[in-house]
Amino acid sequence: MTPTLPTHTAADVLALEDTPTVPPFAVVPGAQVKRVLQGREKSVVEVVEAAYRLHGAGRSVNPPSSFLRLPDRPTARIIALPASLGGEYDVDGLKWISSFPTNVAADIPRASAVLILNDHATGYPVACLESSIISAARTAASAASAADRLSRGRPRPTRLGFVGAGLIARYIHTYLEGTGWFFDTIGVHDVSAESSAGFRMYLEQSGALGRVTVRASAEEVIRDSDLIVFATVADRPHVDDPSWFSHNPVVLHVSLRDLAPEVLLSATNIVDDVDHCLRAATSPHLTERLTGSRDFVHGTLDDVMTGRVTVPAGRPVVFSPFGLGVLDLAVGKYVYDEVARSGELHVIDDFFHELRRHG
């Protein structure tokens, strides 16, 4: 007797094709991350701006960051940034980033990080990427975007100033130059004279345009610059005189805790996300506590990009970005896709071992 063969409808075939499968797991080391991102500053800024737009449109999930504090190391912290981003990215994941300021004394970077990307269909992790470079790049791309968007409608800044001269300052300078900025002068101040000198040497050896000068104080940098970058490890405000900003500069307040409420109250304030930025004792959070209101916040960078908020030219403008996990996901997914496209993914065979529910 001839056996009856099973038949499959079109719906059966589609169901089989849609059956989730466990994806391979890859590790993307820092050298690959750097190769992908180096020289692509304009592309990374576009990636970050697209992520801001998706977040502003509600096509993301970005819970509050979780801070692991260490009582025996009070200056240190490790932060978890979970997030999910839709649109063309369609990815979930987590950045796990540590900040140990005492590392600097040993001549190693303060921050280290990994980024986990999860498969949207199964939830399985698909990659672990070295993420200190991704974190620095997305921070710098966000700052470069803000510098451009917030300086429209006022004279283009030609005098750049850095308060804080570490890795983030270096990346922000790279992204500013990589997106077409030119400066006549670059002022540098850091509480560490060695850091100031090292950053100046880096700028001069990298061919930075403009005369580089180490300044004795933050006040000198602020008064002499019309685009100011705060990239310090300050845990409380140390700049409290609004008159230092009377020339109405654009301020990239990347380190978030440098400016006293009096300074913010004298400025137009733009953030990346209101709820995220007004927490964890940031300068905007301290300003909210002082005033009992969020009225001093004029909007988000996405509001500026979409035209919902116009930045007036007649007062200082301060951009305070908390740093959203969706930006890490967007840049991380960009890196992962580029490495996968090149055929150079380091896949860890059999990383997931128990793949049958009942053994």
Name which of 127, 111, 63 is nearest 326 in CA terms.
63
Q: What is the mean pLDDT of residues 248-265?
A: 98
pLDDT at residue 14, rounded to an integer: 41
∠ CA 166-223-228, rounded to 5°: 40
Band of residue 331 on the pLDDT scale cut at 50, 70, 90? very high
**Closest C-alpha among 296, 309, 227 to residue 263:** 296
Q: What's the average model confidence in pLDDT over 290-305?
A: 98
pLDDT at 355: 83
Output the pLDDT for position 2. Answer: 44
Q: What integer best gives the mean pLDDT of the chain?
A: 93
State the pLDDT at residue 7: 46
pTM score of the predicted model: 0.91
- pLDDT band at 13; cut points 50, 70, 90: very low
Q: What angle do CA 273, 278, 284 make, to 5 degrees?
A: 105
Question: Does the domain formed by 23-134+326-347 have CATH 3.30.43.10?
Answer: no
Query: Among 190, 210, 211, which Cα is nearest to 199's?
Result: 190
Nearest to 259 by CA among 291, 218, 297: 218
Looking at the predicted structure, is the pLDDT value of residue 17 above 60? no
Higher pLDDT, 226 or 105: 226
What's residue 16's pLDDT?
42
In angstroms, how far is CA 282 from the centroid of its own chain? 16
The CATH number of domain 141-323, selected from 3.40.50.2000, 1.10.3720.10, 3.40.50.720, 3.30.470.20: 3.40.50.720
Residue span(s) of the chain under CATH 3.30.1780.10 come to 23-134+326-347
pLDDT at 18: 65
Query: CATH 3.40.50.720 occupies which residues in the chain?
Result: 141-323
Read off the pLDDT of residues 42-95 as tens digits, 9 standing for 90 and up.
999 999 999 999 999 999 999 999 999 999 999 999 999 999 999 999 999 999
pLDDT confidence of residue 104: 83
The confidence band for 209, taking pLDDT boundaries of 50, 70 and 90, is confident
Range of weakest confidence among 4-8, 58-62, 92-96, 169-173: 4-8
359 has a pLDDT exceeding 90? no
Cα 125 to chain centroid distance, Å, stands at 22
45 vs 208: CA distance, rounded Å = 20
8 Å CB contact between 149 and 352: no
Scanning the structure block, which residue is given the tokens 């993914």?
345
The end-to-end CA distance of the chain, in Å, is 36
Give the pLDDT score at 107: 84
- Does the pLDDT at position 15 exceed 70? no
pLDDT band at 10 (very low <50, low <70, confident <90, very high): very low
Contact indicator for 331, 44 with CB cutoff of 8 Å: yes
